[in-house]
């Protein structure tokens, strides 16, 4: 069981093993010193913090990420989302309740890192203009006010449909391009505005360079798309407990 | 957004946006124990599509807080006349 601590705990991440002294040189949220709390095969990286809400400031967000990155440099942890402030008994209960699922997730991400890809499709592209729905009459030419309103709505729907279709097509194309190097994928289609999709790829650390090369080739193949890539990250997108059932 | 728009963001700014996007919207969640407040909204509200998720999260939190504040105001308001 976790030892009793009178203050609240701010949780950064979970891992399975941690070298002694790993956290000695890093400071956490509000300048607090992080440390590892062992719990039956898991180690929770936390720091003590007086109660109250955690303010979203640049300093606090970066401190959260700094501690996780520090651990990530040695092993692949499961990061907590910013703001996980809980009482020791609550952390204890969380770990007890989810222990098996958390260990399974740690096994899944072991030796791996997350790479992030955001793809932005430029709105108003030729693809939309070529949509058969976009007849001259639907652009409102030579119509009365009511018909113009309906034409505008129809145009809006047609554009949305095209963007959604393009987002799905882009996701499928990207998955195909990276299939040999990606171990797991988490894709969120964002067919609004210009952002077509957000993808997170789980990659073996040893194959990150190969991943970058393949992504580079893919980018050259689709110059009409804007890519924003970042990483390696701790596996933020691959630790969603809500889709898994509890151990008991 | 065009590539020119993206070029207006320095690498470190994009890096910060990406960090926010990950740290604020992803990761393990202990249900009911997320207690954040927003003191520096401009940090989040950058108006970039990249941050849609983060902005939504912040507004969700802000919305609940404002709602609670409104209710609290209403309950403590004396009838005016």
What's the 3-state SS for B45-60?
CCCCHHHHHHHHHHHH
Interface contact flag, B28 A241, Cβ < 8 Å: yes
Q: Is residue B40 part of a domain?
A: yes
Q: Is residue B35 part of a domain?
A: yes
Q: In angstroms, rounded to a whole number, what is the distance separating the alpha carbons of residues A13 and A88?
A: 15
Q: Is residue B7 part of a domain?
A: yes
Distances (CA, A) of B49 to A125, A156, B44: 18, 19, 12
Judged on CB neighbours under 10 Å (0-12, 13-18, 19+), A214 is middle
Pairing outcome for strands A8-15 and A78-79: antiparallel
Answer whether residue A211 shows pLDDT above 60: yes
Q: Is residue B14 part of a domain?
A: yes
Q: Is residue B81 part of a domain?
A: no
Answer whether residue A83 shows pLDDT above 70: yes
Q: What are the backbone angles phi and psi of residue A233, rounded to the nearest 5°?
A: -115, 155
Answer whether residue A138 shows pLDDT above 80: no
Write down the pLDDT at residue A237.
Answer: 93
What is the Cα Rg of chain A in Å? 23
B17-69 pLDDT tens trace? 788 888 888 889 876 544 455 544 333 333 333 333 444 454 454 455 455 54
Q: In angstroms, rounded to a whole number, what is the distance separating the alpha carbons of residues A214 and B76?
A: 61
3-state secondary structure of A224: coil
For chain B, the domain total comes to: 1
Write down the pLDDT at residue B5.
Answer: 47
Tell me, what DSSP letter sits at residue B28? B
Whole-model pTM: value is: 0.73
For the stretch A87-116, what's the b/e string if a residue is b when 16 or more beta carbons lie within 10 angstroms of its beta carbon?
ebebbbebbeebbebbbebbebbeebbbbb
Interface contact flag, B50 A195, Cβ < 8 Å: yes
Q: In angstroms, rounded to a whole number, what is the distance separating the alpha carbons of residues A63 and A118?
A: 25
Interface contact flag, B26 A53, Cβ < 8 Å: no
Write down the pLDDT at residue B31.
Answer: 61
**A243 reaches B (C-beta below 8 A):** no
Q: Is residue B58 part of a domain?
A: yes
A102-135 pLDDT tens trace? 999 999 999 999 999 988 776 555 444 454 544 5
Choose the closest CB to B26 out of A94, A192, A237: A237
Which uninterrupted H or E stretch holds A47? strand A42-49
Q: Under a CB-based contact definition with an 8 Å cutoff, are residues A178 and A203 in contact?
A: no
Q: Is residue B18 part of a domain?
A: yes
> Which residue intervals of A10-57 are DSSP H helices?
none
Residue B41 structural domain: 3-76
Q: Is residue B24 part of a domain?
A: yes
The mean-pLDDT minimum among A2-11, A92-101, B62-71, B72-81 falls in B72-81
Choose the closest CB to A94 out of B2, B24, B30: B30
Which residues, 6+ apart, have CB-to-CB distance to A233 below 8 Å? A72, A113, A114, A115, A116, B22
Answer whether residue B78 shows pLDDT above 50: no
């Amino acid at each position: 069981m976790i030892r009793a601590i009178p203050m609240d705990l701010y949780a950064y991440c979970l891992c399975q093993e941690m070298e002694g002294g790993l956290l000695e040189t890093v400071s956490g949220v509000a300048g607090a010193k992080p440390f590892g709390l062992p719990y039956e095969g898991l180690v929770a990286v936390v720091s003590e913090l007086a109660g109250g809400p955690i303010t979203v400031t640049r300093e606090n967000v970066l401190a959260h990420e700094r501690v996780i990155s520090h651990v990530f440099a040695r092993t692949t942890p499961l990061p907590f989302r910013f703001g996980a402030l809980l009482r020791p008994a609550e952390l204890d209960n969380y770990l007890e309740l989810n222990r098996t699922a958390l260990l399974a997730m740690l096994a899944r991400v072991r030796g791996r890192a997350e790479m992030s890809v955001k793809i932005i499709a430029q709105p108003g592209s030729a693809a939309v203009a070529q949509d058969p729905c976009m007849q001259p009459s639907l652009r409102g030419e030579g119509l009365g006010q009511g018909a113009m309103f309906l034409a505008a709505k129809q145009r809006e729907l047609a554009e949305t449909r095209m963007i959604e279709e393009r987002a799905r097509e882009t996701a499928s194309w990207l998955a195909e391009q990276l299939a040999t190097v990606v171990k797991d994928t988490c894709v969120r289609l964002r067919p609004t505005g210009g952002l077509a999709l957000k993808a997170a790829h789980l990659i073996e650390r040893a194959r990150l360079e190969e991943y970058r090369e393949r992504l580079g080739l893919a980018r050259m193949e689709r110059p009409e798309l804007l890519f924003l890539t970042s990483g390696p990250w701790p596996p933020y997108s691959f630790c969603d407990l809500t889709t898994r059932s509890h151990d008991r | 957004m065009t590539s020119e728009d993206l070029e207006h963001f320095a690498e470190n700014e994009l890096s910060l946006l990406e960090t926010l996007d990950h740290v604020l919207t992803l990761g393990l969640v202990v249900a009911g124990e997320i207690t954040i407040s927003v003191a520096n909204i401009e940090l989040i509200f950058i108006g970039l599509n990249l941050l849609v998720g983060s902005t939504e999260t912040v507004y969700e939190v802000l919305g609940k807080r404002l709602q609670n504040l409104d209710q609290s105001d209403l309950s403590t308001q004396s009838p005016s006349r």
